[in-house]
Amino acid sequence: MSPNQAKPENSPHILVLGMGGTIAGLAAKPENPLQYEAGQVTVSSLLAHIESAIPEGLKLVSHQIANINSRNLTEPLLSLLGKTVQEALANNWVKGLVITHGTDTIEETGLFLQLICGKSAQELGKRIILTGAMLPANAAGADGPSNLLDAIRWASTPLDNCPGGVYAVMDGRACLAMDLSKRHPTALNAPLQSSPSSSAGLINPSWLSGVKAVQAAWNEDLPLPKGDEWPWVEILTSHAGARPQTVAQWLGSGVKGLVLAGSGMGGFHDAWQTPLAEAASQGIALVRTSRTGAGSTYPNIPEKDLEGCLASGTLTAPRARIALQLALNAAKVDKSLTWQDFFARIAVLPEIR
């Protein structure tokens, strides 16, 4: 770089944040790509690998936040990611962001980012793109390089029709990041979204109007908890043979909320009725969702809800947990509203079909 040339950080660029995952993974034997370690390759190496395909003149700056298997994602790490993204959104040189992430918990991170900075990304006209891979970096036909390139294109192409916001791009498709979820352990198209649109920029108009409806309904970002401020929330799954102890063991534990992944329409085993009523009377926040992993959970369906227990709307159990944590934290910050007020804003966000 000549002395007069601005450093990439001080000129318009796309910021690429590395969190780890299979996209940064290595298999001991490339011919056995299912046996591998996630989070082995740095994000700068991933970018170096695709350098020749990066659009001419596009400046990229990379920053490694973590290099983990995302099943080990922690709340302090989410706080660090959230803070980094918020700072980048406020930086005029950053025109868009890409985050390389493990797919196991990309579902949680997608909703988390929507709730803490979806509105500001939209208002600033910047796209934040989550991406990952199903095959480690050294496997034959690894999907990481093409996913990363697609994500970079999505973060950097003009905003004519697709607004700023928090998206995910994988397997040649794009969606709102809060809609991405992994629904198969190994398939290349495992991270599925309900409404595909082309990553080549051919945006599906009905999907786009769904994006705009979600953005119109999301009026205000929630406060970002510091690493040690996240309320303790657990997910309990109802099943045949469920026992009262599964709930009762949390009474007096310090847990602040329980997400109940019920069966079918989100109903839970009768064995839980008494301990859940006790949990509610102790002030433990309760949210009811469905373990089916799709569709919506509605209030008072199939039966009337316990006093104070909210239905999750379209949120799956992992998303409902993040939503409840952020709602509990928001109610602590703004004491004029309850966690139910904040949670209800999230649960009513429209589903894009």
The yes or no reply on residue 147 touching ligand SIN (CB under 6 A) is: no
Q: Give the one residue of 15, 16, 17, 38 binding ligand SIN; rule: CB under 6 A.
A: 38
Which range of residues in 18-26, 173-181, 219-227, 322-330 is near ligand SIN by CB under 6 A?
Answer: 18-26
Query: How far apart are the C-alpha atoms of 224 and 128, rounded to whole Å?
Result: 17
The yes or no reply on residue 130 touching ligand SIN (CB under 6 A) is: no
CB atoms within 10 A of CB 189: 15
Residue 289, H or E segment: strand 285-290
The yes or no reply on residue 132 touching ligand SIN (CB under 6 A) is: yes
Q: Which residue has the tokens 């009262």?
A: 244
Query: How far apart are the C-alpha atoms of 171 and 199, rounded to whole Å?
Result: 9
CB atoms within 10 A of CB 213: 14
Tokens linked to 333: 């910050």
Start-to-end CA span in the chain (Å): 48
Q: Least distance in Å: CB of 189 to ligand SIN?
A: 12
316 Cβ contact partners less than 8 Å away, ≥ 6 residues apart: 107, 181, 289, 293, 294
User: Minimal CA–CA distance to 343: which of 281, 289, 291?
Assistant: 289
Q: Least distance in Å: CB of 114 to ligand SIN?
A: 19
Q: Give the one residue of 21, 110, 262, 275 binding ligand SIN; rule: CB under 6 A.
A: 21
Residues 54-93 that bind ligand SIN (CB under 6 A): 69-71
The yes or no reply on residue 231 touching ligand SIN (CB under 6 A) is: no
**Amino acid symbol at 215:** Q
Q: Least distance in Å: CB of 149 to ligand SIN?
A: 17
The yes or no reply on residue 102 touching ligand SIN (CB under 6 A) is: yes
- Give the nearer residue to ligand SIN in terms of CB position, either 188 or 200: 188
CA R_g for the chain: 21
Region class of 279: left (phi > 0), else alpha (psi between -120 and 50), else beta: alpha
Query: How far apart are the C-alpha atoms of 74 and 102, rounded to whole Å?
Result: 13
Residue 233, phi then psi, degrees to nearest 5: -135, 135
Q: What's the sign of the alpha-carbon dihedral 115, 173, 26, 42?
A: negative
User: Minimal CA–CA distance to 222: which of 76, 103, 89, 339?
Assistant: 339
Q: Least distance in Å: CB of 251 to ligand SIN?
A: 33
Residue 71, judged by CB atoms within 10 A of its CB (0-12, 13-18, 19+), counts as exposed
The yes or no reply on residue 33 touching ligand SIN (CB under 6 A) is: no
Q: Least distance in Å: CB of 143 to ligand SIN?
A: 10
Q: Least distance in Å: CB of 289 to ligand SIN?
A: 22
Q: Give the one residue of 85, 117, 134, 259 binding ligand SIN; rule: CB under 6 A.
A: 134
Q: Least distance in Å: CB of 165 to ligand SIN?
A: 23
- Give the nearer residue to ligand SIN in terms of CB position, either 70 or 181: 70
Question: Binding residues for ligand SIN, how many (CB under 6 A)?
Answer: 12
The yes or no reply on residue 22 touching ligand SIN (CB under 6 A) is: yes
The yes or no reply on residue 103 touching ligand SIN (CB under 6 A) is: yes
The yes or no reply on residue 171 touching ligand SIN (CB under 6 A) is: no
Q: Least distance in Å: CB of 37 to ligand SIN?
A: 10
Q: Least distance in Å: CB of 193 to ligand SIN?
A: 15
Under the rule (CB under 6 A), what is the footprint of ligand SIN? 20-22, 38, 69-71, 102-104, 132, 134
